Amino acid sequence: MASSKTKRGKPTGAPVAIRSLSITPTDTRPLDRIAQDASDAIGWTVSGSAIVRALLHHAAQQGGVLSKEQLFPLIEQEIQNDTV
């Protein structure tokens, strides 16, 4: 009797664009904490990529106010700390 293989369907999500990020070891601690907290809350393993995408979606939903008043100063601080 031949074994049947599970046929994989096409992914249903949007196409993915691969980007690389550089983060310091200090930055990985809050990312790991957020991933663990999110995993505990929703019951699924949460990746760093999912967190970054969620943060980007959140920033987009807030409009320009978040960017100009809250996000841009943090970006400037990162650049001044030579974390480009």
- On whether residue 49 sits in a domain, the answer given is yes
Would the pLDDT of 53 be above 90? yes
Residue 14 lies in a domain: no
For the chain, the maximum distance between any two Cα atoms, rounded to a whole number of angstroms, is 66
Total domains present in the chain? 1
CA dihedral of residues 82, 57, 10, 7 (deg, nearest 10): 90
What's the pLDDT band for 69 if we cut at 50, 70, 90? Answer: confident
Domain-embedded: residue 5? no
76 inside domain: yes
pLDDT of residue 11: 60
Q: What is the pLDDT of residue 52?
A: 92
Q: Tell me the pTM.
A: 0.70
Gap between the Cα atoms of 84 and 75, Å rounded: 9
- The answer to the question of residue 17 being in a domain is no
Would you give the DSSP letter of residue 58?
H
Domain span holding position 45: 25-80
Q: What confidence tens digit (pLDDT) does each residue in 5-48 have? A: 555 556 677 788 888 888 888 889 999 999 999 999 999 999 99
Q: H or E stretch including 30?
A: helix 25-42
